[in-house]
């Protein structure tokens, strides 16, 4: 089996490595951040978040997160919600 080689200038090679590294870091940063926070916080999937908020509407959940009332993390099509921020939001909603 013969190997195939790609030849390029050293400067172009280093630039390519830098670009690939940056793209990988962009992709894995949300995972790393979520893992760091997961030590401090519990994260809920969308159904668990709606249950905790006692809402049925996914639209309402999206509005709460998009307007900054609850924290969330997203990577690709996976979204998780901060249980701590949901509890803080509910405490602010308490009427005495």
HEC profile of the chain: CCCCCCCCCHHHHHHHHHHHHHHHHHHHHHHHHHHHHHCCCCEECHHHHHHHHCCCCHHHHHHHHHCCCCCEEEECCEEEEEHHHHHHHHHHCCCC
Q: Which residue has the higher pLDDT, 36 or 2?
A: 2
pLDDT for position 26: 87
Q: What are 44-53's pLDDT values in tens digits? A: 999 999 999 9
Q: What is the mean pLDDT of the chain?
A: 88
Q: Where are the domains of the chain?
A: 10-92
Mean pLDDT of 31-46: 76
Looking at the DSSP bridge assignments, the partners of residue 74 are: 79
């Amino acid at each position: 089996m013969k190997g195939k080689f790609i030849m390029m200038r050293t400067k172009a090679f280093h630039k390519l490595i830098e670009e690939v590294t940056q793209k990988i870091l962009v992709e894995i940063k949300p995972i790393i951040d979520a893992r760091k926070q997961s030590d401090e916080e519990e994260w809920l999937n969308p159904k668990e978040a709606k249950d905790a908020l006692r809402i049925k509407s996914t639209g309402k959940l999206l509005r709460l997160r998009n307007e900054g009332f609850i924290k969330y993390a997203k990577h690709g099509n996976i979204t998780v919600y901060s249980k701590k921020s949901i509890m803080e939001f509910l405490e602010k909603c308490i009427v005495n």
